[in-house]
Structure 1
């Protein structure tokens, strides 16, 4: 039965494409308000990683059974993702854009973690392949994701500190 895996992959693909539209709009608005993009050189690598992750799943997962436990974990992460987007509103973007003088968001999931969106992405990169019974795929992409997040979080923290946003 292929439809459950195809439906899940379609959902994730459309979600990511929709988020790119939102991110572009928010980035443009932040830049128009005087925001400054930081460390743009890693962005194409991050986009390529996420595109390869989804494309690879489209090649490997159709027709594979969807494991209920990992599917439910993944869907729980989607609820958390929506919480992040709702908390950040027009400040959510896939790029690192610093708006000098804007207060650091400390509500919603940001009360508990400095970078909840990255924690969610870590979970997603691992759990979606696991939902399709692809543990090696989950590990490989988790390692690549860890490498890009190391670069990204370091750049973001430095930018926030230099903008005197962090305490």
Structure 2
């Protein structure tokens, strides 16, 4: 079972690194087309949060004795569902998907797919991921702390994003 968990963890890390590569590529594409970037000053906080999140999972997993819990399989199903929703966000936004705040001038926000129902679906998905992923690794302290740290950062991020969308020219 521990090998399976390390495979899941590796998948998540490679997925996140791939998303950073995609975000970088999309950022360059958008900037070439006149996009304006907002919130650069707080972006490093997201990098710190996510790095600390994965480190906390490893520390908790390694320092505690693993016993498969009844929550594992429901958490795995929820995690897989969240991954489908994450991919839906990326697919819906296409080249406009990013981990940064970039606004294309005179383009309206995308209101199709999951964005038709939720204004910031990726933030909601990440919140739930920060609860569910640690449960897979019996990292319950991480599951309690990091979703709320994520919400704290969103009190900075979402107002900047909303202002960026308002000021689009």
How far the C-alpha of 1:17 sits from its partner, in A, is: 0.4
Secondary structure of the corresponding residue to residue 161 of structure 2: helix
TM-score by length of 2: 0.92
Tell me which residue corresponds to 2:10: 10
How far the C-alpha of 1:59 sits from its partner, in A, is: 2.6
Aligned residues: 164
- 1:123-142 matches, cutoff 5 A: 123-142=128-147
Cα pair 1:36 1:97 within 8 Å, conserved: yes
Tell me which residue corresponds to 1:31: 31
After the TM superposition, which parts of structure 1 deviate over 4 Å for at least 4 consecutive aligned residues?
none
How far the C-alpha of 1:138 sits from its partner, in A, is: 0.9
Tell me which residue corresponds to 2:19: 19
Q: 2:151 aligns with which of 138, 146, 154?
A: 146
Gaps of 5+ in 1: none
Aligned mates of 1:139, 1:59 — CA distance in 2: 15
Q: Is residue 114 from structure 1 mapped to residue 119 from structure 2 by the alignment?
A: yes
Cα pair 1:83 1:108 within 8 Å, conserved: yes
Q: Is residue 84 from structure 1 mapped to residue 89 from structure 2 by the alignment?
A: yes
Secondary structure of the corresponding residue to residue 148 of structure 1: helix
TM-score by length of 1: 0.93
Cα pair 1:130 1:138 within 8 Å, conserved: yes
Aligned mates of 2:160, 2:146 — CA distance in 1: 21
How far the C-alpha of 1:107 sits from its partner, in A, is: 0.5
Deviations 1:77-122 (CA, angstroms, capped at 9, x unpaired) = 0000010011001000100001111121010100100001111111
User: Over the residues paired in the alignment, what is the CA RMSD in angstroms?
Assistant: 1.4
How far the C-alpha of 1:132 sits from its partner, in A, is: 2.1
Cα pair 1:74 1:128 within 8 Å, conserved: yes
